[in-house]
């Protein structure tokens, strides 16, 4: 019967160069390796590819990259060049503090291309007005704002207001006849009635009609304007 091969336990012995010649070759190899790495590093740093430049800590280069981006928003002076009339209206209006692009969106591309790329269409329903002028919790009292439930509800803002000059161009007509001892408004003003209301109106309670068509008369107004509900 064969005896099993003996297994050597413990730490394997480290081979050391047994001769002076071996030691010399090892030192030479280390020096050669360092030299090769130095040359490679020099090539990388100064040559066609620079790892440090691209991936290293490089705040100046990256800051410049952010600075080189193209602005999307221009400013009002760019708009003035073609839209002088609107610009003049705007300069004299209460909206002077509101930039063109606040409502019209970014216009940098529109202003710098020929023919200009179309500007964003402004929402004609008046949402662009209400984002600033709807009465909302938290909105400062100094900001002009309206309760949409009672302020000429249902009509687009542009029906009565101009935006660039911020003036009221049209108000709903006030009621030219006395309002006392009369039946409901819809008695005469319903569709098919004596004097029907224009299309777009809904049949409502008197109070709803009066919310738009009745205004407190100014002090000293002529008697015909002094109507009382």
Partner 1 sequence: MTVSRRRLLGSGLAAFAGLLGARSIALGAPATARAAAPGGAGTGVAPADAAPAGYVPSDHRWGMVVDTVSCIGCGRCVEACKLENHVPMDPEYNRTWVELHVIAQDGSVIVAAPDGGIDGYSAEAVAALGLSESIRQAYFVPRLCMQCDNSPCTSICPVGATFRTEDGVVLVDDERCIGCGFCVVACPYGARYIVPAGGEMPNGYPGVADKCTFCYHRTTRGLLPACAEVCPVEARIFGDLKDESSPVSAVLRDRRTQVMKPEAGTKPRVYYLGLEAEVG
Side-chain half-sphere of 178: how many Cα atoms within 13 Å?
4
| Spatial separation of the C-alpha atoms in residues 109 and 121, rounded to whole Å | 15
H-helix segments, 47-168: 51-55, 59-67, 76-80, 84-91, 100-104, 108-112, 127-133
Stretch that binds partner 1, among 53-61, 167-175, 197-205, 206-214 (CB under 8 A): 53-61
Query: Which contacts (CB < 8 Å, 24+ apart) does range 114-119 have?
Result: none
Q: C-alpha 119: how far from its chain's center? A: 14
**Cβ distance 119 to 105 under 8 Å?**
yes
Joined tokens for residue 222? 């002529």
Stretch that binds partner 1, among 93-101, 162-170, 183-191, 204-212 (CB under 8 A): 93-101
Which residue from 23, 24, 27, 72 is in contact with partner 1, where contact means CB under 8 A?
Answer: 72
150 touching partner 1, by CB under 8 A: no
131 touching partner 1, by CB under 8 A: yes
| Least separation in angstroms between CB 151 and partner 1 | 12
**Cβ distance 197 to 188 under 8 Å?**
no
55 touching partner 1, by CB under 8 A: yes
Which residue from 148, 179, 188, 190 is in contact with partner 1, where contact means CB under 8 A?
Answer: 148
Closest CA to 227 of 182, 177, 184, 190: 177
| Least separation in angstroms between CB 91 and partner 1 | 15
SS3 106: coil
DSSP tally for the chain: helices H, then strands E: 10, 0
75 touching partner 1, by CB under 8 A: yes
SS3 221: coil
Only one residue has tokens 């800051």, namely: 63
137 touching partner 1, by CB under 8 A: yes
99 touching partner 1, by CB under 8 A: yes
59 touching partner 1, by CB under 8 A: yes
Stretch that binds partner 1, among 99-107, 157-165, 180-188, 220-228 (CB under 8 A): 99-107
139 touching partner 1, by CB under 8 A: yes
Which residue from 78, 119, 122, 132 is in contact with partner 1, where contact means CB under 8 A?
Answer: 132
Stretch that binds partner 1, among 67-75, 175-183, 196-204, 218-226 (CB under 8 A): 67-75
Q: Which residues of the chain form contacts with partner 1 (CB under 8 A)?
A: 25, 29, 36, 40, 49, 51, 54-59, 61-73, 75, 97-99, 101-102, 105-106, 112, 130-132, 134-140, 143, 147-148
């Amino acid at each position: 019967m064969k005896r099993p091969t003996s297994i050597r336990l413990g730490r394997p012995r480290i081979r050391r160069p047994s001769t002076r010649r071996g030691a010399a070759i090892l030192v030479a190899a280390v020096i050669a390796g360092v030299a090769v790495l130095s040359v490679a590093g020099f090539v990388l740093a100064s040559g066609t590819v620079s790892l440090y430049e691209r991936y290293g800590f490089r705040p100046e280069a990256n800051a410049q990259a952010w600075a080189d981006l193209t602005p999307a928003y221009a400013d009002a002076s760019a708009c003035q060049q073609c839209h002088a009339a609107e610009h003049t209206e705007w300069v004299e209006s209460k909206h002077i503090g509101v930039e063109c692009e606040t409502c019209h969106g970014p216009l940098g591309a529109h202003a710098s291309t020929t023919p200009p790329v179309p500007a964003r269409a402004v929402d004609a329903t008046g949402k662009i007005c209400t984002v600033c002028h709807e009465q909302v919790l938290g909105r400062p009292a100094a900001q002009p704002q309206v309760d949409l439930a009672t302020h000429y509800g249902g009509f687009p803002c542009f029906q009565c207001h101009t935006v660039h000059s911020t003036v009221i161009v049209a108000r709903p007509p006030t009621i030219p006849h006395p309002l006392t001892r009369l039946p409901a408004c819809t008695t005469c003003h319903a569709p098919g009635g004596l004097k029907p209301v224009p299309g777009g109106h809904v049949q409502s309670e008197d109070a709803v009609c009066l919310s738009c068509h009745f205004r407190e008369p100014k002090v000293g107004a002529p008697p015909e304007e002094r109507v009382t509900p």
